[in-house]
Amino acid sequence: MEELPALVVATPTDGPIPDDSRVASQTVLSTAALRVVEIAFGPGAELTEHSAPAPIIVQVLDGAVDFEVGGSVYAIQAPGFVHLPDAGERHRVSATRPARIQITMLLGAARDAHAERTSPSARVG
């Protein structure tokens, strides 16, 4: 029987959600392959338009948010999620009520995509 490689188990926090329009974040896990960040939003709080350095999965753990990407706004409630498969995609997140989200950045996928784009076999001759 094969042994499984070492696994890292991380549990999201249950810290308080701000009661004003602030945002509080905490890194839950950070490895070479992925980073997991939990963000708590007070009512009306937002992350202004930005991009991530890797593909991401954003899951709403509590509450609800508006997620804007590509000129469209999506209302996402717990336990809904959204996946942005391309690094650098501009997006914005705002809480429609107190909320907590978990962001998983797929750092290994970003490295794989970069290697694929820059490998000699990927170049057009």
- The answer to whether residue 8 sits within a structural domain is no
pLDDT greater than 90 at residue 38: yes
Tens-digit pLDDT profile for residues 90-108: 999 999 999 999 999 999 8
Tens-digit pLDDT profile for residues 72-95: 999 999 999 999 999 999 999 999
Q: Which residues, in sequence order, are bridge partners of residue 91?
A: 50, 69
Q: List the strands of the sheet with 46-50, edge to edge.
A: 46-50, 91-95, 64-69, 72-77
Number of domains in the chain: 1
- The whole-angstrom separation of Cα 23 and Cα 42 is 6
- The answer to whether residue 17 sits within a structural domain is no
Give me the mean pLDDT over the 3-32 stretch.
77
- DSSP character at residue 48: E
pLDDT greater than 90 at residue 118: no
- The whole-angstrom separation of Cα 28 and Cα 9 is 10
- The whole-angstrom separation of Cα 83 and Cα 124 is 30
Which domain does 69 fall in, by range? 23-120
pLDDT greater than 70 at residue 41: yes
- Scanning the chain, the segments in alpha helix (DSSP H) are 107-118
- Give percent of the chain above pLDDT 70: 75
Least confident of 6-10, 22-26, 107-111: 6-10
Of 119 and 51, the structure prediction assigns the larger pLDDT to 51
C-alpha distances (whole Å) from 33 to each of 37, 56, 57, 99, 116 are 14, 12, 14, 27, 16
- The whole-angstrom separation of Cα 47 and Cα 45 is 7
Indicate which CATH number applies to the domain containing 86. 2.60.120.10
- The answer to whether residue 12 sits within a structural domain is no
Confidence bin at 124 (pLDDT 50/70/90): very low
- The answer to whether residue 70 sits within a structural domain is yes
- The answer to whether residue 78 sits within a structural domain is yes
- The answer to whether residue 32 sits within a structural domain is yes
pLDDT greater than 70 at residue 13: no
- The answer to whether residue 11 sits within a structural domain is no
